[in-house]
Amino acid sequence: MNALLEQPQSTFVPSNVDDIAAKVWNGERLSYEDGVRLMHHPNLAELGILADHVRQKQNPGRVVTYIAGRNINYSNVCWVQCKFCAFYDLPASQKGYVLSQEQIFTKIQEMVDLGGIEILIQGGLNPKLRIDYYEELFSSIKAKFPQVWIHGLSVAEVLYIAKISRLSLEETMRRLHASGLGTIPGAGAEMLVDRVRKIIAPYKDTTDEWLHAMQMWHKLGGHSSVTMMYGTVETPEERVEHMIRVRDVQDESLRTTTGSFTAFIAWNFQPDGTPLGDELRGLAYQTPHESQGVNYDPNWRKATGYDYLRTVAVGRLLLDNIPHHQASWVTQGPKIAQIGLNYGLDDFGSTMMEENVVSAAGTDFVMPISEIERLIEQAGYEPKRRSTLYEVFSEKSGY
């Protein structure tokens, strides 16, 4: 059988969630079983009420934050060939690139001139770039732009840098931090369930490896975010499993270290132009003859806005130890992101200025700062700028 269909089949029968609601009102932690029931609960409005209640307990008031920053993809060269990615080029490709320091500095200067304070800098797993490249790049950025925060790389990149540089993970992280890396984004978490990871990114790190790397970063005093890409081959139960694994790591980090996850970001798989999208929709097989004996899901469809609101609401309810939950307007679009502010979200993310990875898969939502603030205000909230570590600024500047 095709691996795309080799997934557990749910036998869950939806029911009311009054007992779970009582636990939420009483401030009790929800269980895995509670999360599964919420994922199957048909009343989306009830989920929103519960999620907004928890959001207000954790972040009272009507403030919704965002950060003035820019995405910079320093390289698109990557050998991992994740099935959900339309951005990468293989090392032997003539289309692969590595930005020069001058090109990166130009992008940062454009951001700084507009009042930006954070760069989200990520690339692929490029076999030609060892730790000395990153140390030189980050230290040069900090020397030229000391006010700019480097929110960079991903767990997959850090693990690969350690491997090809023949260093331990801890030494690699210490050296990256010393050269200027401030925080690690949650990219690459995808779905923290190995069954799913083996299908959508078989050459990537395992669930345990990803979580261990984040624990190590937290142990060293670093902060990070965590994402969840849903809408591929996972079940609702596996989405809950992802959240519970993250919650357990956060519990440990808060108990034993000074570092932690600052925010959770859920976003749905963008299928256009990706091998996984073609497989799921059967587009990889051009004729009936070619498709004989190949099992794919003929009913698969891209996740809806309804599914997004359900997922972020359950995320807020289960991830009670992660203070901030961020809207993914670049994948959902501005209208769904607005509605999400009533489903547990308290942050609108980064201004980005440019975005290459998701737009490569056919999704391209770009908004100026004035539009972000307008959307927040018209949803009934007060926009506020923040730092990467969620320090709220009293005054606006730039943009």
Reported as a single tens digit per residue, the pLDDT across 84-143 is: 565 555 655 667 788 999 999 999 999 999 889 999 999 888 889 999 999 999 999 999
- The reported pTM is 0.88
Q: Is residue 17 part of a domain?
A: no
Instruction: Name the strands in the sheet holding 69-73, side by side, starting at the edge strand that comes first in the sequence.
Output: 69-73, 118-122, 149-152, 181-184, 223-230, 261-268, 324-326, 347-350, 63-67, 382-385
**384 pLDDT band (50/70/90 cuts)?**
very high
Secondary structure letter of residue 359 according to DSSP: G
Considering the chain, what is the average pLDDT of its residues?
87
Of residues 177 and 290, more confidently modeled = 177
Q: Is residue 13 part of a domain?
A: no
What does the pLDDT average to over 331-335? 86
Asked if 319 and 240 count as a contact pair (C-beta separation under 8 A), the reply is no
Q: Is residue 398 part of a domain?
A: no
Which residues, listed in sequence order, are joined to residue 150 by a DSSP beta bridge?
119, 181
pLDDT computed for residue 360 by the predictor? 38
Asked if 337 and 375 count as a contact pair (C-beta separation under 8 A), the reply is yes
Residue carrying the six token digits 């289960």: 318
Q: Residue 43 has which token pair?
A: 């009343």
Residue 349 belongs to what domain range?
27-385
Question: Which CATH number do you get for residue 151?
Answer: 3.20.20.70
Sheet strands (E) in 288-387: 324-326, 347-350, 382-385
Q: Is residue 393 part of a domain?
A: no
CB atoms within 10 A of CB 343: 27
Burial string for 20-38 (b: 16+ CB within 10 Å, else e) reads: bbebbeeeeebeeebbbbb
Stretch (H or E) spanning 228? strand 223-230
Q: How far apart are the first and last CA of the chain?
A: 53
Q: Is residue 45 part of a domain?
A: yes
Question: Beta strand pairing status for 324-326 and 261-268?
Answer: parallel
Of residues 390 and 1, more confidently modeled = 390
**Amino acid of residue 305:** G
Number of domains in the chain: 1
How far apart (Å, rounded) are the C-alpha atoms in residues 217 and 252?
Answer: 13
Burial string for 132-151 (b: 16+ CB within 10 Å, else e) reads: ebbbebbeebbeebeebbbb
Q: Is residue 112 part of a domain?
A: yes
